[in-house]
Amino acid sequence: MLPQSVQDALNDQIRDEFYASYLYLAVSAYFESINLGGFARWMLVQSEEEREHAMRIYDFIHERGGEVVLQAIDQPPTTFDSPLAAFEAAFAHEQRVTQSIHNIYALAGSENDYATQVMLEWFITEQVEEEKITGDVVHQLKMVADHPAGLFMMDRQLGARSE
pLDDT 10s digits, 132-155:
999 999 999 999 987 999 999 999
Q: What is the pLDDT of residue 163?
A: 76
End-to-end CA gap in the chain: 35
Domains of the chain: 4-159 (1.20.1260.10)
Neighbours of 64 (CB within 10 A): 17
At residue 63, the 3 state secondary structure works out as: helix
pLDDT 10s digits, 65-74:
999 999 999 9
pLDDT 10s digits, 86-102:
999 999 999 999 999 99
Q: 93-97, long-range: CB within 8 Å, 24+ apart, which pairs?
A: 93/20, 93/23, 94/127, 94/130, 94/131, 94/134, 95/131, 96/16, 97/16, 97/17, 97/20, 97/127, 97/130
pTM of the model: 0.95
pLDDT 10s digits, 19-36:
999 999 999 999 999 999
Mean model confidence pLDDT for the chain: 97
